[in-house]
A and B are shown apart, each in its own frame.
Chain A
Amino acid sequence: AQSVTQLDSQVPVFEEAPVELRCNYSSSVSVYLFWYVQYPNQGLQLLLKYLSGSTLVKGINGFEAEFNKSQTSFHLRKPSVHISDTAEYFCAVKPPTGANNLFFGTGTRLTVIP
Protein backbone atom coordinates (compact mmCIF):
# COMPACT_ATOMS: atom_id res chain seq x y z
CA ALA A 1 0.00 0.00 0.00
CA GLN A 2 1.11 3.55 -0.68
CA SER A 3 0.90 6.53 1.62
CA VAL A 4 2.08 10.11 1.42
CA THR A 5 3.13 12.39 4.25
CA GLN A 6 3.37 16.13 3.84
CA LEU A 7 5.07 17.22 7.02
CA ASP A 8 4.04 20.87 6.96
CA SER A 9 0.39 21.82 6.79
CA GLN A 10 1.19 25.53 6.45
CA VAL A 11 4.29 27.32 5.19
CA PRO A 12 4.49 31.11 5.32
CA VAL A 13 7.34 32.68 3.38
CA PHE A 14 8.28 36.20 2.35
CA GLU A 15 8.14 37.20 -1.29
CA GLU A 16 11.36 36.47 -3.23
CA ALA A 17 12.58 34.07 -0.53
CA PRO A 18 13.26 30.40 -1.32
CA VAL A 19 10.83 27.70 -0.23
CA GLU A 20 10.85 23.94 0.21
CA LEU A 21 7.70 21.89 0.67
CA ARG A 22 8.40 18.44 2.04
CA CYS A 23 6.90 15.17 0.89
CA ASN A 24 7.73 11.66 2.04
CA TYR A 25 6.11 8.50 0.80
CA SER A 26 5.97 4.88 1.79
CA SER A 27 5.71 2.13 -0.75
CA SER A 28 6.98 -1.39 -1.15
CA VAL A 29 7.36 -0.89 -4.88
CA SER A 30 8.69 1.81 -7.15
CA VAL A 31 6.31 4.67 -7.74
CA TYR A 32 5.53 7.60 -9.95
CA LEU A 33 5.52 10.88 -8.02
CA PHE A 34 3.56 14.05 -8.63
CA TRP A 35 3.13 17.55 -7.28
CA TYR A 36 -0.15 19.35 -7.88
CA VAL A 37 -1.10 22.93 -7.07
CA GLN A 38 -4.58 24.14 -6.18
CA TYR A 39 -5.33 27.85 -6.36
CA PRO A 40 -8.33 29.15 -4.38
CA ASN A 41 -11.66 27.93 -5.70
CA GLN A 42 -10.04 25.92 -8.47
CA GLY A 43 -9.21 22.31 -9.22
CA LEU A 44 -5.78 20.72 -9.06
CA GLN A 45 -3.17 21.49 -11.72
CA LEU A 46 -0.07 19.39 -12.36
CA LEU A 47 3.18 21.14 -11.39
CA LEU A 48 5.61 18.35 -12.20
CA LYS A 49 6.05 14.60 -12.18
CA TYR A 50 8.79 12.02 -11.73
CA LEU A 51 8.49 8.79 -13.68
CA SER A 52 12.11 7.66 -14.07
CA GLY A 53 15.53 8.96 -15.08
CA SER A 54 17.02 12.15 -13.69
CA THR A 55 16.13 12.64 -10.06
CA LEU A 56 15.81 16.40 -10.48
CA VAL A 57 12.56 17.31 -12.15
CA LYS A 58 11.65 20.75 -13.39
CA GLY A 59 8.06 21.89 -13.57
CA ILE A 60 5.98 24.91 -14.38
CA ASN A 61 6.20 28.31 -12.70
CA GLY A 62 9.86 27.82 -11.74
CA PHE A 63 9.27 24.89 -9.39
CA GLU A 64 11.48 21.81 -9.22
CA ALA A 65 11.56 18.66 -7.14
CA GLU A 66 14.18 16.08 -6.32
CA PHE A 67 13.47 12.39 -5.99
CA ASN A 68 15.51 10.74 -3.26
CA LYS A 69 14.96 7.00 -3.26
CA SER A 70 16.97 6.26 -0.13
CA GLN A 71 15.00 8.80 1.89
CA THR A 72 11.74 8.11 0.03
CA SER A 73 11.27 11.82 -0.42
CA PHE A 74 10.16 14.11 -3.21
CA HIS A 75 10.55 17.65 -1.88
CA LEU A 76 9.34 20.62 -3.91
CA ARG A 77 11.49 23.75 -4.16
CA LYS A 78 11.45 27.20 -5.66
CA PRO A 79 14.41 29.59 -5.33
CA SER A 80 12.31 32.77 -5.25
CA VAL A 81 8.57 32.80 -4.60
CA HIS A 82 6.01 35.26 -5.87
CA ILE A 83 2.72 36.40 -4.40
CA SER A 84 0.94 34.39 -7.10
CA ASP A 85 2.44 31.18 -5.69
CA THR A 86 0.08 31.37 -2.72
CA ALA A 87 -1.90 28.15 -3.01
CA GLU A 88 -2.34 24.62 -1.67
CA TYR A 89 0.23 22.08 -2.84
CA PHE A 90 -0.41 18.34 -2.93
CA CYS A 91 2.09 15.53 -3.29
CA ALA A 92 0.82 12.27 -4.80
CA VAL A 93 2.13 8.81 -5.66
CA LYS A 94 1.09 6.02 -7.96
CA PRO A 95 2.65 2.62 -8.61
CA PRO A 96 3.59 2.15 -12.30
CA THR A 97 1.27 -0.83 -12.55
CA GLY A 98 -1.74 -2.04 -10.63
CA ALA A 99 -3.70 0.75 -8.96
CA ASN A 100 -4.99 3.33 -11.35
CA ASN A 101 -5.59 6.18 -8.96
CA LEU A 102 -3.25 8.55 -7.21
CA PHE A 103 -2.71 8.56 -3.44
CA PHE A 104 -2.55 12.11 -2.16
CA GLY A 105 -1.02 13.76 0.87
CA THR A 106 -2.98 16.15 3.07
CA GLY A 107 -1.58 19.21 1.34
CA THR A 108 0.62 22.15 2.31
CA ARG A 109 -0.76 25.66 2.24
CA LEU A 110 1.92 28.04 0.99
CA THR A 111 1.31 31.67 1.89
CA VAL A 112 3.62 34.24 0.32
CA ILE A 113 3.89 37.39 2.41
CA PRO A 114 4.54 40.70 0.63
Chain B
Amino acid sequence: EADIYQTPRYLVIGTGKKITLECSQTMGHDKMYWYQQDPGMELHLIHYSYGVNSTEKGDLSSESTVSRIRTEHFPLTLESARPSHTSQYLCASSPGKGGTGELFFGEGSRLTVL
Protein backbone atom coordinates (compact mmCIF):
# COMPACT_ATOMS: atom_id res chain seq x y z
CA GLU B 1 0.00 0.00 0.00
CA ALA B 2 1.51 3.29 -1.13
CA ASP B 3 1.66 6.05 1.43
CA ILE B 4 1.86 9.34 -0.36
CA TYR B 5 -0.42 12.20 0.48
CA GLN B 6 -1.37 15.40 -1.28
CA THR B 7 -3.20 18.42 0.10
CA PRO B 8 -5.38 20.14 -0.76
CA ARG B 9 -7.30 17.74 -2.99
CA TYR B 10 -9.25 20.61 -4.52
CA LEU B 11 -8.45 24.31 -4.60
CA VAL B 12 -10.27 27.22 -6.26
CA ILE B 13 -8.50 30.55 -6.06
CA GLY B 14 -8.38 33.92 -7.75
CA THR B 15 -5.73 35.16 -10.14
CA GLY B 16 -2.59 36.51 -8.52
CA LYS B 17 -2.77 34.43 -5.36
CA LYS B 18 0.18 32.45 -4.07
CA ILE B 19 -0.48 28.77 -3.54
CA THR B 20 1.44 25.80 -2.24
CA LEU B 21 0.50 22.22 -2.99
CA GLU B 22 1.75 19.84 -0.34
CA CYS B 23 3.10 16.34 -0.95
CA SER B 24 4.39 13.95 1.69
CA GLN B 25 5.43 10.31 1.57
CA THR B 26 6.18 7.92 4.40
CA MET B 27 8.03 5.27 2.40
CA GLY B 28 11.49 6.80 2.69
CA HIS B 29 11.75 7.13 -1.09
CA ASP B 30 14.64 9.21 -2.38
CA LYS B 31 13.02 10.24 -5.65
CA MET B 32 9.95 12.44 -5.89
CA TYR B 33 8.13 13.93 -8.85
CA TRP B 34 5.42 16.40 -9.81
CA TYR B 35 3.33 15.70 -12.91
CA GLN B 36 0.75 17.94 -14.55
CA GLN B 37 -2.31 16.22 -15.95
CA ASP B 38 -4.82 17.76 -18.34
CA PRO B 39 -7.79 15.94 -19.94
CA GLY B 40 -6.86 13.92 -23.01
CA MET B 41 -3.17 14.62 -22.59
CA GLU B 42 -0.29 12.54 -21.37
CA LEU B 43 1.08 13.25 -17.93
CA HIS B 44 3.86 15.80 -18.15
CA LEU B 45 6.76 15.85 -15.71
CA ILE B 46 7.29 19.38 -14.38
CA HIS B 47 9.69 18.81 -11.46
CA TYR B 48 11.67 16.02 -9.87
CA SER B 49 14.07 15.46 -7.02
CA TYR B 50 16.63 12.74 -6.37
CA GLY B 51 17.02 13.57 -2.71
CA VAL B 52 17.29 16.32 -0.13
CA ASN B 53 18.39 19.65 -1.61
CA SER B 54 18.13 18.24 -5.13
CA THR B 55 15.52 19.63 -7.53
CA GLU B 56 15.35 19.64 -11.33
CA LYS B 57 12.91 20.90 -13.93
CA GLY B 58 11.09 18.31 -15.96
CA ASP B 59 10.12 18.04 -19.60
CA LEU B 60 7.29 20.55 -19.43
CA SER B 61 8.15 24.13 -18.62
CA SER B 62 6.33 25.34 -15.54
CA GLU B 63 6.24 28.61 -13.64
CA SER B 64 5.99 26.68 -10.39
CA THR B 65 8.88 26.02 -8.03
CA VAL B 66 9.63 23.15 -5.67
CA SER B 67 11.80 22.49 -2.64
CA ARG B 68 13.15 19.35 -0.97
CA ILE B 69 14.31 20.17 2.53
CA ARG B 70 13.23 16.86 3.98
CA THR B 71 13.14 13.44 2.35
CA GLU B 72 9.45 12.98 2.95
CA HIS B 73 8.25 16.41 1.81
CA PHE B 74 8.15 17.90 -1.72
CA PRO B 75 5.90 20.98 -1.91
CA LEU B 76 5.09 22.84 -5.13
CA THR B 77 4.55 26.60 -5.09
CA LEU B 78 3.00 29.06 -7.53
CA GLU B 79 3.90 32.64 -6.59
CA SER B 80 1.12 34.21 -8.67
CA ALA B 81 -1.54 31.88 -9.99
CA ARG B 82 -3.13 32.44 -13.40
CA PRO B 83 -6.02 30.72 -15.19
CA SER B 84 -3.47 28.91 -17.39
CA HIS B 85 -2.31 27.09 -14.23
CA THR B 86 -5.68 25.38 -13.92
CA SER B 87 -4.88 21.67 -14.00
CA GLN B 88 -4.52 18.52 -11.93
CA TYR B 89 -1.16 18.14 -10.24
CA LEU B 90 0.03 14.65 -9.30
CA CYS B 91 2.86 13.93 -6.90
CA ALA B 92 4.75 10.65 -7.06
CA SER B 93 7.74 8.93 -5.49
CA SER B 94 10.02 5.99 -6.18
CA PRO B 95 12.88 4.24 -4.38
CA GLY B 96 16.33 5.64 -5.08
CA LYS B 97 18.21 2.41 -5.51
CA GLY B 98 17.10 -1.00 -6.62
CA GLY B 99 13.87 0.33 -7.96
CA THR B 100 12.38 -0.60 -11.31
CA GLY B 101 11.08 2.84 -12.07
CA GLU B 102 7.65 2.12 -10.66
CA LEU B 103 6.06 5.29 -9.37
CA PHE B 104 3.74 5.56 -6.39
CA PHE B 105 1.20 8.34 -6.85
CA GLY B 106 -0.78 10.56 -4.53
CA GLU B 107 -4.44 11.23 -5.19
CA GLY B 108 -3.76 14.54 -6.88
CA SER B 109 -4.52 18.20 -6.30
CA ARG B 110 -7.01 19.76 -8.66
CA LEU B 111 -6.33 23.48 -9.01
CA THR B 112 -8.78 25.94 -10.54
CA VAL B 113 -7.68 29.55 -10.99
CA LEU B 114 -10.46 32.01 -11.73
Contact = CB atoms under 8 A, between A and B. Distances in A.
Contacts of B50: 100
Interface residues of B, number: 26
Interface string A77-103: 000000000000010001010001111
A44 B105 contact: yes
Contacts of A32: 100-101
- Which of under 10, 10 to 19, 20 to 34, or 35 or more describes the interface residues of A? 20 to 34
Given A90-B43, A101-B48, A107-B40, A51 B107 contact: no
A32 B102 CA distance: 9
Nearest to B4: A43
B42 A101 contact: no
Contacts of B101: 32, 34, 94, 96, 100, 102
Contact of A106 (B4, B42, B100, B105): B42
A42 B31 CA distance: 21
Contact of A42 (B33, B40, B107): B107
Nearest to B45: A101
A103 B94 CA distance: 15
A67 interface: no
Contacts, number: 57
Nearest to B101: A94
Interface string B37-65: 00011110100101000000011000000
Contacts of A43: 4, 6, 90, 92, 105-108
Contacts of B100: 32, 49, 51
Contact of B40 (A4, A45, A94, A106): A106
Interface of A: 4, 9, 32, 34, 36, 41-46, 49, 51, 90, 94, 96, 100-107
17 contacts: A4-B42, A9-B40, A34-B101, A41-B9, A41-B108, A42-B107, A43-B108, A44-B92, A44-B105, A45-B105, A46-B102, A46-B104, A51-B100, A100-B48, A102-B101, A102-B103, A103-B42
Interface of B: 4, 6, 9, 31, 33, 40-43, 45, 48, 50, 58-59, 90, 92, 94, 100-108
